[in-house]
Amino acid sequence: MRGTWQERFAGTPDVLRGGRRQQTIVPVLDIEIGGDEFVTMAGPCSVETESQLMATARFVCRSGARILRGGAFKPRSSPYSFQGHGLAGLQMLARARAEYGLAIVTEVMSECDVPLVAEYADILQIGSRSMENYSLLEAAARSGRPVLLKRGMVATVADLLHSAQVILENGNPYVILCERGIRTFETALRNTFDAAAIALLKHVSHLPVIADPSHAAGHRALVPALARIAVAAGADGLLVEVHPDPDKAWSDGEQSLDFAEFGAMMDALNPYLALRPGALGELAGARPMEVAG
């Protein structure tokens, strides 16, 4: 069976398991992604205001998240939609990191913006629309920051691995693969969550794999269920959208969890995480610290 997968993905040899490449651990501040700890990244789709971001950072930190997500640059389908605060958004993210100790992941959309975003972010996110923007992948690789690579909306697993190969070939070994749902003939949900891809990637690749149930579902009521499915499929972590008042969010409110929903989701993950091989008891919903303020 191993030979079959090696042949099928022969064009991406550096991302495949084999020999001494059994599991890559991505270090981010004091966090290790791809190891024994299940890592949750959570926060708003868009950085809107200082109060919105700080309130969210405080709550997700108290609920067990280790990394704060938030968009400073936003690739929107409509040119009339909010496009992000840019530098001001990055600065707000940096202040949230200083206040709550969370690492920062945010999207970079242009190779020209890589140095700026890398100055503020701990992880550079490559969005689904940019997965095959090879100039951007090369620039992100050379930044020295870990790269969170989202699967494109119509990309195969092989396509995703090819993009990861580009990053590794440009000298950056720290790539995190992200399954965020793909477009199929089914239109009931925003995307079709490919849980099988998570299991396959964990089987064939040494790179960490996380899931984005928010974009996969497009409806907040389904996000917790997809998160549990991701854990069962073997994901190393989650990327979840959380907002103080989703109905008033400037982007993606329909798929964002409010604080109570996020807390409940994290608690509900614990029995599933306890079944993971090598589970250390550091479970997603644990509240290890009380944040002042």
- Tell me the per-residue pLDDT of 135-193, one tens digit each, with 9 for 90 and over: 999 999 999 999 999 999 999 999 999 999 999 999 999 999 999 999 999 998 899 99
Q: Is the pLDDT of residue 11 over 50?
A: yes
Residue 290 lies in a domain: no
Does 291 fall in a domain?
no
216 in a structural domain:
yes
Task: Indicate if the pLDDT at residue 3 is higher than 80.
Answer: no
- Position 293 scores a pLDDT of 41
In a domain, 260, yes or no: yes
Arithmetic mean of pLDDT, 26-33 = 97
Mean pLDDT, the chain, as a whole number? 91
- Residue 286 located in a structural domain: no
pLDDT in tens, 112-134: 999 999 999 999 999 999 999 99
CATH number at residue 175: 3.20.20.70
Sorting pLDDT into bands at 50, 70 and 90, what band is 279?
A: low
- pLDDT tens-digit profile of 64-94? 999 999 999 866 555 545 556 789 999 999 9
Q: Give the number of C-alpha atoms closer than 13 A to the C-alpha of residue 106, restricted to the C-beta side.
A: 33
pLDDT value of residue 173: 97
CB distance 21 to 59 below 8 Å: no
Residue 290 CA, chain-centre distance (Å), reads 25
Note whether residue 282 is domain-resident: no
Identify whether 289 is part of a domain: no
* The overall pTM is greater than 0.85: yes
Q: Are 266 and 274 in contact (CB under 8 A)?
A: no
Q: Is residue 223 part of a domain?
A: yes
Question: Taking a C-beta distance cutoff of 8 angstroms, is the pair 163, 135 a contact?
Answer: no
What's the number of domains the chain is made of?
1
Range of the domain at 217: 2-273
pLDDT of residue 46: 93
User: CA 71 to CA 239: how far, in whole Å?
Assistant: 13
Phi, psi of 266, deg, nearest 5 = -60, -45
